[in-house]
Structure 1
């Protein structure tokens, strides 16, 4: 038995080494494409999607017909209509027009020993995107990764399989039209067990994984991945309403942030109201009525519960951690700026946070001390988006602090490499 175990162990070790050698060999074959090549593929892709619009919409209808509408947020993300196709084409055109982010000199200099050193942008290599629903990710993720000279693996959810197959087929047609291999952009259709095994023992090189979805998906990927994981984190976004807030701004900001798109990660879930707010009962009554008019379910702590008609009590602390992705919102009372900051930093997802106040000094303190990727003063959290922030199409909204935080656009989808030029120097 001992000999058998030893043989199996040696065989496994040999197999791992062979696989690693193969992966490294594959990694070396990736070529740097010219800007003209990449833009030509994107131009072809925009045309092909437009030409195949009817096929795409029919495929999406297949996915919608097979989807149970129990999860409204997932269903909303799954829908592809003609307007969304137009949005995909616009995203491609936007990225096509943006400067190529690869091989840009970040810094350069000559040392005392004569070495000339340049730090330049470089591709990651191969990026795996794992996402739920949202077929438009199949466009936005791939267009950014490709323009940044990365290969991309797309692991979409089973609920969008028909739509994603059409979209990836469009990519393959665009690549072939321009003399490039279709393996620059690949669709992976694996069940949960197969995905777990792929993460543990990838059959091709993976340099970065970006999971786009809920906490369960992110936890699953982080547990099993063998390479860097860039987290596109949960929302659970907070608003703090200071005593001096202008309620003519509070009402539209809060209603927009909560109800404009409940399935978005930048939607508002929690509102902290300062207990010192003058005329609080009447102001909360107005806000509650405005939210209920948008079919939003209200929850409140013991202090605010009597002031919000139709509100339900917050059952336990876990609700403060929860990202709803649903027409629900929680209200809580706080005694001042510092308690508000402490509560937000404790419970929020570190995505987007807003303070509503007329006091610029108070706003500055809040924005400096709240630990979120985007902090707002008197504006809706719905602006945390690549397009809305001027980044263009985005791969994700990163809540990690390395290597980038916030919308991951084209310019952020690169790593760096040092080029050192010498003339025989030794150390």
Structure 2
């Protein structure tokens, strides 16, 4: 397998893949229909991620087109130094080598992740969930066609059709070199991978995102943002699960009643702290442990705090390190909040739903990392590289 493909070769494969997906759209949807009809679970987030329709097909094609247009991340000069003895020292970006992604549902990841890995010079091992097997195998077959059309080895994209026991054995004793693993799914999947992996793991962690409504919030804006963040796509890790409201907010009671009514129109189950559970249609909860939970469902927790400092502390204690929002007209308050909250993405006056590789201009994403090494937040094309040192001399010794 030639590890040194040119940008032109890589783009040619991506273009072939985009054309094949467009041509085979009906076949992909037909394969996906088998998966959807076979799914017996009651997890509505899983079902939403599993289903492939015309819109998702268009999203797959768009992600490939964006990758083609993006700059090749490999071989980029990062640092130069000339030693006093004449050595010329350069640091350049380089591929990891082989990346394994383990994911649940989401057949679109089979396109997006493989595209990002391939353009960044990495071989990818794909391990999708059994619920999306037919969809994934069809898409991998198209990847192989795209590679063959361009006289490039199909080894660049490999699907691991393993059950849980077999993938555990592979994680503990890989039958080929694996340089990086990205688990993309629920907390049980992430814990399983971290427990058994023998190489570095980048965690695409839970959301459990917070919105804080400050004392100086535009309340109409707050309603719009909360409703979008909660209800637009409940299966997304960038959906909001928790809202905290400043107790000193003017017209607080009116605002809370409006928020409750709007959420009820979307059949959102509302849980509240002691103050909020006094409102009609809000249930109380037994334990503060609920503040830790990611719902991926039509469910939300609302509470109050006495200050932005208290809001920051609560988010840093309970949040998933993914996304956090402050709704305020006060830029100074917002800046303090954004610098103090320990999340990969922090917002002023906008929905958490924008934490996404495509929305951030990355041309799709491999995952959204809630780790801090080696990257944090949406991982796009430019982030799936490591670095390598090149030293040029003429006989220097130390």
Does residue 1:319 correspond to 2:290, yes or no? yes
Between the aligned partners of 1:97 and 1:302, the Cα distance in structure 2 is 52
State the match for 1:329 in structure 2: 300
Q: 1:18-33 maps to which residues of 2 (within 5 A)? A: 31-33=3-5
CA RMSD of aligned residues (A): 0.9
Q: Which has the larger radius of gyration?
A: 1
Structure 1, gaps ≥5 residues long: 1-28
1:113–1:425: 8 Å Cα contact kept in structure 2?
yes
Which of 211, 217, 228 matches 1:256?
228
Does residue 1:197 correspond to 2:174, yes or no? no
TM-score, normalised via structure 2 length: 0.99
Which of 332, 345, 360 matches 1:361?
332
TM-score, normalised via structure 1 length: 0.92
Between the aligned partners of 1:56 and 1:397, the Cα distance in structure 2 is 26
Between the aligned partners of 2:391 and 2:2, the Cα distance in structure 1 is 22
Equivalent residue pairs, number: 398
Between the aligned partners of 2:15 and 2:350, the Cα distance in structure 1 is 36
Structure 2, gaps ≥5 residues long: none
1:226 Cα deviation from its structure 2 partner: 0.6
1:30–1:125: 8 Å Cα contact kept in structure 2?
no
Does residue 1:410 correspond to 2:391, yes or no? no
Q: 1:20-419 maps to which residues of 2 (within 5 A)? A: 31-307=3-279, 309-419=280-390
1:314–1:330: 8 Å Cα contact kept in structure 2?
no
Between the aligned partners of 1:314 and 1:332, the Cα distance in structure 2 is 11
Q: Which runs of 4+ in 1 moved over 4 A?
A: none
Q: Residue 243 of structure 1 aligns to a residue in which SS?
A: coil
- Kindly provide the CA deviation profile for residues 125-167 of structure 1, in whole angstroms up to 9, marking residues without a partner as x: 0000000000000000000000001000000000000000000
Between the aligned partners of 2:49 and 2:358, the Cα distance in structure 1 is 17
Between the aligned partners of 1:390 and 1:184, the Cα distance in structure 2 is 25
1:351–1:372: 8 Å Cα contact kept in structure 2?
yes
Between the aligned partners of 1:83 and 1:341, the Cα distance in structure 2 is 37
Q: Which one is further off, 99-108 or 165-174?
A: 99-108
Between the aligned partners of 1:361 and 1:30, the Cα distance in structure 2 is 53
Between the aligned partners of 2:322 and 2:123, the Cα distance in structure 1 is 28
Between the aligned partners of 1:71 and 1:325, the Cα distance in structure 2 is 9
Q: Residue 358 of structure 1 aligns to a residue in which SS?
A: coil
2:276–2:282: 8 Å Cα contact kept in structure 1?
no
Q: Residue 391 of structure 2 aligns to a residue in which SS?
A: strand
